[in-house]
Amino acid sequence: MEDLATPPVEIEIPAPVRLVAPRVNCQIAFVGTPASEAPRAEVHAWLAKLGLLTAPMTEGRVVIEAVDQDHKERRYRVRMDLTMPHGVVTVGHDHPNNGAHEDIYVAIRNAFRAGRRELTAYSLSHGAPAPVDLPSSI
């Protein structure tokens, strides 16, 4: 007698984007592009990577903006304002290392790399030693 049981079907489960606990005190806004969970998770992952540099942050605002509405040439800019105990650290569009980019994740990466430099300068100017646990690759 034949075995009529159906063979097991392999189901591929997609890997999660990045499981990072979101910072409650950081707002992420999208301008000119629909809000998406993956770029939002990328921002939270970068905030986590910056660790001690963003630990004293009391509030943050990150704006992801599509600057060209033509879908073939869409470029993204990221601006961030991180409120620290003694002032606001801002990385805007005019920062030399934060130009518009055609890949939203590269735009986020570039903004946070510029932000890391600004946060390090902020920490040093306010008497805190710069964290040494940050790899130079971020």
- 32 vs 128: which has the higher pLDDT: 32
Q: Could you give the 3-state DSSP secondary structure of residue 82?
A: strand
C-alpha–C-alpha distance, residues 64 and 43, integer Å: 10
pLDDT tens figures, 66-110: 887 665 778 889 999 988 888 888 888 776 666 678 889 999 999
pLDDT tens figures, 23-57: 558 899 999 888 999 999 999 999 888 888 888 88
- The predicted pLDDT at position 36 comes to 92
- Among 4, 43, 36, 3, CA closest to 20: 43
Helix runs in 1-103, H state only: 37-50
Q: Could you give the 3-state DSSP secondary structure of residue 87?
A: strand
pTM of the full structure: 0.71
Which tokens belong to 53? Answer: 């540099």
Beta-carbon contacts of 138 under 8 Å, excluding residues fewer than 6 positions away, are 46, 49, 50, 112, 113, 116
